[in-house]
Amino acid sequence: MAGVEAIAAIQLIDACIGIAKTIIDVGRAVKDAQGLPPKLRDLCEKLPTIEELLERARDSCEEGRVAEDASKSAVPILQQCEQALGELRDIFRKACPKEGDNRSKRIWKGTRVVFFGRGSQVQKLLVRVQDNLKLLEQMQVYVIGDKLDELQEVTEALACDDGGKYSHTGAGNIIANEGGMPTNYVVGGHNNRVVYRPGVYHEGPSST
């Protein structure tokens, strides 16, 4: 039977798993969202790693493979992990379309400063979560092995990328006016886009 400290750790792990599941569900719902930057699609695909490692930690605690001292030391780490995951969940909820939205209404609402660049909110939170997971390994709660490698690569890719101001694939052109005098644009073809203010604009090919 798990001791008092292990039970406290298990309760926190369960809370972290619940939040991680929500983030993963949001990521699945957004995979075909219009305007989702490719690197964020990569991130959504790697997020289940967090849940898998937390489940591994829970199994270790439930099976009595973690010493009471280690369980006690893990509690504040898990509290930090829970907080970081909660903040990450809130960001994804605001930026991602709802799962029940019609595909044509699934528009990515994220902004460059939140998701891209070293020091962005998402990048910092992902690093904090991964650091906490590594600390749990140091406490011999579980063995990570190479499970975090791909998630770390995606996190680093977000840090090194400004997200691109404007990207677009498929038919048509993007015309960006970032200020100054009004301009008349004459462009042939179809599916063209005009962006009148600075920011991030990503759009992939439309689907029917």
Residue 57 and residue 117 in one domain: yes
203 in Cβ contact with 169 (< 8 Å): yes
Question: What confidence tens digit (pLDDT) does each residue in 82-118 have?
Answer: 999 999 999 988 877 665 555 555 566 667 778 888 8
Count of domains in the chain?
2
Residue 145 and residue 197 in one domain: no
Residue 132 and residue 195 in one domain: no
Question: What confidence tens digit (pLDDT) does each residue in 132-148 have?
Answer: 999 999 999 999 999 99
Question: What confidence tens digit (pLDDT) does each residue in 41-98 have?
Answer: 899 999 999 999 999 999 999 999 999 999 999 999 999 999 999 999 999 888 776 6
The overall average pLDDT reported for the chain is 79
CATH number assigned to the domain comprising residue 140: 1.20.1410.10
Residue 170 and residue 156 in one domain: no
Domain that holds residue 99: 4-162
Residue 100 and residue 188 in one domain: no
Residue 27 and residue 125 in one domain: yes
This prediction has a pTM of 0.73
Residue 185 and residue 147 in one domain: no
